[in-house]
Amino acid sequence: MNDDAEPSQALSPLEDGSASSPMPFEGLAAPEPIDATPPEPARWLAFAGILLGGLLGGLIGYGVGDLLGRSSVWAATGGLIGGVFGAVGVGIIASLTLRAMNEWNAVQHPEAQ
C-alpha cells in the first residue's frame, strides 16, 4: 500500500462551492460599537457634584453634631458621617445618571445615520 497517496474523499456540495452558502448574510457588516464612556465634561460635573454633596453633608452633620453634643468630638463625628453619607448618595445618583445618559446615546434607530 502506498502511504504517500492521499485518500480520495468525496466533497459535500457545501465544501465544493456548488451549492449556496450556509451563511446567507455574508455581505453584511456589523456596526461599529458605540463608545461606552460618557463625555468628559459630564464626568467632571459628576465629580464636582460628588464633592459638593460631601461638603454639604459634612456641614449638615457638623451642625447636627454641634447641636446635640456637649463637645467638639460630637460635631467632628457628625461632620465626618454626614460628609460620607452625602458623597455616597450623590455618587450613586451621578453614576446612575451617567449610565442613563450613555444608554440614551447608545439606543438609536438603525436608519438615523
Indicate if the pLDDT at residue 40 is higher than 60. Answer: yes
**Residue 33: pLDDT above 90?**
no
The reply to whether 12 falls in a domain is no
Only one residue has cell 460635573, namely 45
Specify if 21 maps to a domain. Answer: no
What is d(CA 74, CA 62) in angstroms, rounded to the nearest whole number?
Answer: 8
Is residue 58 in a domain?
A: yes
In a domain, 44, yes or no: yes
The angle subtended at Cα 31 by Cα 99 and Cα 29, nearest 5°, is: 160
The answer to whether position 7 is within a domain reads no
Average pLDDT over residues 21-27: 66
pLDDT tens-digit readout, 59-87: 999 999 999 988 899 999 999 999 999 99
Report yes or no on whether pTM surpasses 0.85: no
Q: What is the mean pLDDT of residues 100-112?
A: 72
